[in-house]
Amino acid sequence: MCRFLLYKSNSPILLADLLTRPAHSIIMQSFNCKLRIDLRRPMNGDGFGIGWYDDNPGTPGCIFTSTLPAWGNLNLQRLAEKIKSAMVFAHVRATTGDTATSESNCHPWQFGNLMWMHNGYISGFDKIKRRMQNALREDIYLAIQGSTDSEHAFALFLSMLDDPSKTVFSFQELRTAMLRTIEQINEWLDDDEEPSLLNFAVTDGQSVICTRYITSTDSEAASLFYSSGSKFQADDGQYRMVKANKREDVVLVASEPLTYERSDWLVVPTNTLLVITPKLNVHLHPIKDKYWNPDRSQPSI
């Protein structure tokens, strides 16, 4: 089980204000996560990755990955103190399915202007891997560099788009492709398998789509939270989401809250798709398939 966060705003933020400085930053979560389901691997020390976009819409983002644990990577700390961005992906990895610890297996991944990361696993991936590969477009299949279920899920998502090489997508296009990806994975999976955890995130630098999803009607998916407001900043050394007006200028989505201000964070319900539009509107859509259960209990923070 991994941990991830994403940040979208009208103004750039220093990466250190997301990755290293908050009380429960993504770096802290790499060795001290609080809400993981899989307790067999308490550390997220099998590599990390950060991805960010500049302020030129339609241009590809940049990705930095490493197989070193995030908590001990000096280059990550140096970059975080210098780079600013208004669209950030960050991920700390714990391997699943006995996949190798390699840079090609570190999240996020990129294809054209699209960036993708995943927290969870596809249960029984080895049984559906060949069918998944056969469903891919040739150019997308050839772009796969690693061996993870997560990167293959990204390739499947790309194959659901009419033109994955475009520079800008509507959030409706990305939402539809995400739902089709989950639907197709479910068609291939054996119901007797252990539930799959499909917390996916994708962006083109303008819109963001996230899911909190499990192939079960009664179990909870891997944790996911979001926070929105005017500015994410530190007051007297403590970070929090400032809500100075009714406008949403910042949206944060994270596997675990970055701060201990309970009022700042909302739970994304299990089996729900979250959309962040280019104008920073947040929409939550229940995924009403065979695993949808409106009576499923939802945890509090």
| Contact between residue 287 and residue 183 where contact means Cβ atoms under 8 Å apart | no
- For residues 45 and 43, what is the distance between their CA atoms, to the nearest angstrom? 5
Query: 21: closest CA among 230, 240, 231?
Result: 240
For residue 12, give Cα distances in angstroms to 109, 150, 210: 22, 28, 21
Q: Helix 149-159 crosses helix 171-188 at what angle (to 10 degrees)?
A: 120
Catalytic residue, candidates 2, 33, 106, 210: 2
Residues forming a β-bridge with 111: 114
Q: Hey, which residues does 198 pair with through a beta bridge?
A: 120
> How would you classify the pairing of strands 197-203 and 266-267?
unpaired
Non-local CB neighbours of 18 within 8 Å, separated by 6+ positions = 5, 7, 25, 26, 88, 90, 232, 252, 258
φ/ψ of 287, rounded to 5, equals: -95, 95
* Residue 137 in tokens: 């477009």
* Widest pairwise Cα distance in the chain: 55
DSSP state of 155: H
- Determine whether 2 is an active site residue: yes
CA distances from 114 to 72, 119, 295, 297 (A): 28, 17, 35, 34
For residue 132, how many other CB atoms are within 10 A of its CB? 20
Residues noted as catalytic: 2
